[in-house]
Amino acid sequence: MKKIFSLILSIILICSFSLYGCNSAQSTETDSSTQTQNANLTQSVTNKSDDDKFNPYLTENKYDIGEEMFEKRNDVDYGTVLKDVTYYSQTAGDNKQCNILLPAGYNENNQYPVMYIFHGFGGSHSDQIDDDSYVTLLYGNMLHDNLAVPQIIVNVDMYTDKQSEKAEKSDEELRYIYDKAIDDVAKDLMPFIEDNYSVKTGRENTAVAGMSEGGAKSLCTGFKWLDKFGYIASFAPDPGIIPTEFYKGTYWNTPYLEEFPQPTDENTPFYLYLAVGSEDPWNIDCTLYYKQVFDEMGIKNQTDYVDGYEHNHIFWRQCFYNFLSKIFK
């Protein structure tokens, strides 16, 4: 029995000594490996999974943005507005112009995503981007307040035909001339912007938006060129995108597309946003119809029917706030 007890005691002493030595070594190794562990932790946070990435659909849009967000402030740099920038459009067979907003701090050594904006019917390429225009002031304030991503914003001229004949066109003729802007943006304007400005390319870095007739054109452009546009916004869009019953028998109803193309896993929009005000006199039904079609096709979208707003820039600027707060993040 004594021999057994002595053997057990010896084993206990050996194990205790071994544990002490291991703990001491571990303590030293812990001190020396702290930076490595912290670096690994940082790397794991940086390399987020897809589930951790920003999802614009998880945040409800706001339509109570105060006037101060749309007013000029003395302490804000609103970037640089380049007016009447000329490029040649093969689609038009003539020169066209656009207005371009370069963000505050624009640096050619950096690269920026791009948003293209279509104006409404009868408008021009200076409606949204100009000195002290509502998108210029809104975006400058949002960028200053860290509510938006630095980006280049291009105000498109939808008139895509011989410039010398513009004044002679009827509204019906303009409707079909505007359709040509869908190809002009993708084939002519985008390459020009990418060749002359410091641009991030790829659909993950390209957005299109518009209101009214421009909202119809933004949906047509985004879906015809799903490989080029990852973010699509349409505010109270007109009919004339796909066949509808609205304004039937008029030039407004003539569809540009027979149907919306079905996106694949590779070209599904990162964010598809539609909105219309409850007091809009023209485009409530067609906006909600487009949403119905998207839902039936299984195309994720965020479509808002907003109480109290009409068909004007008071509503558009609220919509632009939402879109700018969600794209390229």
CB 114 within 8 A of CB 207: yes
CA dist list (Å): 20 to 11, 28, 128: 14, 13, 73
Residue 284 has pLDDT above 60, yes or no: yes
Q: Which residues 6+ apart lie within 8 Å of 325 measured at CB?
A: 142, 147, 148
Place of tokens 């505010």: 235
Residue 72 has pLDDT above 80, yes or no: yes
Of residues 302 and 36, the one with the higher pLDDT is 302
CB 215 within 8 A of CB 234: yes
CB 197 within 8 A of CB 216: no
Confidence of residue 51 (pLDDT cuts 50, 70, 90): low
C-alpha to C-alpha distance for 96 and 178, rounded to whole angstroms? 13
Residue 146 buriedness (CB in 10 A; 0-12 / 13-18 / 19+): exposed
Residue 52 has pLDDT above 90, yes or no: no
b/e sequence 162-194, b meaning 16+ C-beta within 10 Å:
eeeeeeeeeeeebbebbbbbbbbbbebbbebbe
Average pLDDT in the 214-232 region?
98
Q: In what order do the strands lie in the sheet with 80-89?
A: 80-89, 94-102, 152-156, 114-118, 206-211, 231-235, 271-277, 302-306
Rounded to the nearest angstrom, the gap between the alpha carbon of residue 219 and the centroid of all alpha carbons in its chain is 13
C-alpha to C-alpha distance for 80 and 144, rounded to whole angstroms? 14
Class for domain 68-324, per CATH? alpha beta
Place of tokens 């005691």: 9
Closest to 134 measured CA to CA, from 126, 124, 144, 123: 126
The C-alpha angle with vertex 17 and arms to 11 and 18, in degrees rounded to 5, equals 90
Residue 18 has pLDDT above 60, yes or no: no
Amino acid letter at 261?
P
Confidence of residue 263 (pLDDT cuts 50, 70, 90): very high
Which of 9-13, 21-25, 165-169 has the highest mean predicted lDDT (pLDDT)?
A: 165-169
C-alpha to C-alpha distance for 119 and 121, rounded to whole angstroms? 7
Q: Which residues 6+ apart lie within 8 Å of 41 measured at CB?
A: none
Specify the 3-state DSSP secondary structure of 196: helix
Q: Where are the beta strands (DSSP E) in 64-147?
A: 80-89, 94-102, 114-118
Residue 44 has pLDDT above 60, yes or no: no
Of residues 34 and 186, the one with the higher pLDDT is 186
Secondary structure, 3-state, 261-304: CCCCCCCCCCEEEEEEECCCCCCHHHHHHHHHHHHHHCCCCEEE
